Amino acid sequence: MVVAATTGQAALAPGDHEFSIRHDGLRRSYLVHVPAQATAGGRLPIVLNFHGGGANAKIQKRYSRMDETAARKGFLAVYPNGTGGFAGRLLTWNAGACCGSAAAKRVDDVGFVLAVLDDLARRTDIDQSRVYATGLSNGSMMAYRLAAEASDRIAAVAGVAGAMALRRFRPANPVPVMHVHSVDDGRALYGGGLAPAFPWTNTRAQHPPVETMLEKWVAHDGCPGKAQITATIKGRPDAADAAHTATRYTYAPCRAHTEVVLWKLTGAGHVWPGGQQNYLRWLLGPGTTVIDANNEIWEFFARFRRD
């Protein structure tokens, strides 16, 4: 059962905010971008956007460029910080079988994120029927863990360049799912397998195959076993990513009016499509604008709410 947000409290002012809470003996923090629509009153939906392994909330905020979509569409963009690393960098999430010190120490990241939602509800009016989760790489894995283990709180999930890494998959409710991934991702391998070592470390992550992961959600959500191709996009002829493609596969109809969608890209690396271009290209591979992940994710999210 989703608990309704408390009414009557003052809304957070538009702009950027940073908050900290104590959870499970650790001081944790998160960033919030509040759109101008907050001044109009009413409860706003939330998109939780999890950074990749080795990054942090500020990097994900800048790299994904989701604030721009939040400003246009009127939702709160929330960027939690993982744990580990040093000086607030090189943070990871305990997404189950991955990643880094967060998984090794079995950090309660699901509990932390639920505490973030509760903390934010005390600070401003939020629409708790419209809480969504997304993220990149290890952050994508974290979004999936949250959706699987807190399906009463998460209305829909969208992973980018990181397949779910749960040892146990038993969501209590159906959850709409979108996944965005390039077959040419050289780090989170589309077909699964052991990733290259993270720079300056001997750390390597084992990635599940994307389509095997989606089969679990397709079965859980009661979708047809065969997807329909519902969009095919090519890069603009005059663009650097002219050779890139994006094909959308849709599994529908599913139970409880859910849906499972795969955006299968070619040519792009381990990246957030439409995000900051050529960020760490030497590590992540080529960026792409063949689709704008923020727009696709929000248009998908906006169709669903948790009863």
Closest Cα to residue 155, out of 305, 3, 5, 4? 305
pLDDT on residue 59 = 98
Q: Tokens at residue 245, please?
A: 């493609």
Has residue 306 been placed in a domain?
no
Q: Average pLDDT of 6-16?
A: 73
pLDDT on residue 9 = 58
Helix (H, G, I), strand (E, B) or coil at 206: strand
Q: Average pLDDT of 156-162?
A: 99
- CA 114/CA 231 separation, integer angstroms: 35
Has residue 132 been placed in a domain?
yes
Check whether 259 has a pLDDT greater than 90. Answer: yes
pLDDT on residue 6 = 40
* Interval 183-215: pLDDT, tens: 999 999 999 999 888 776 777 888 999 999 999
Give the CATH number of the domain where residue 217 resides: 3.40.50.1820
Check whether 241 has a pLDDT greater than 90. Answer: yes
Strand partners, 171: none
Q: Average pLDDT of 170-185?
A: 99
Has residue 21 been placed in a domain?
yes
pLDDT on residue 304 = 99
- CA 55/CA 136 separation, integer angstroms: 10
Confidence of residue 10 (pLDDT cuts 50, 70, 90): low
State the CB neighbour count (10 A cutoff) for residue 22.
9
Check whether 73 has a pLDDT greater than 60. Answer: yes
Check whether 3 has a pLDDT greater than 60. Answer: no
Has residue 4 been placed in a domain?
no
Has residue 1 been placed in a domain?
no
Of the given ranges (3-7, 10-14, 243-247), which has the lowest mean pLDDT? 3-7
State the CB neighbour count (10 A cutoff) for residue 74.
15
* Interval 35-49: pLDDT, tens: 998 877 789 999 999
Predicted TM-score of the model (pTM)? 0.94
pLDDT on residue 56 = 97
Has residue 307 been placed in a domain?
no
Of the given ranges (40-49, 91-100, 117-126, 171-180), which has the lowest mean pLDDT? 40-49
Has residue 2 been placed in a domain?
no
Sign of the CA dihedral running 284, 289, 295, 297? negative
pLDDT on residue 5 = 36
Confidence of residue 124 (pLDDT cuts 50, 70, 90): very high
What are the CA-CA distances from residue 258 to residues 65, 169, 301 (Å)?
A: 27, 18, 11
Domain that holds residue 158: 15-301
Has residue 26 been placed in a domain?
yes
Work out how many domains the chain is built from and give that number: 1
Residue whose token pair is 């999210």: 301
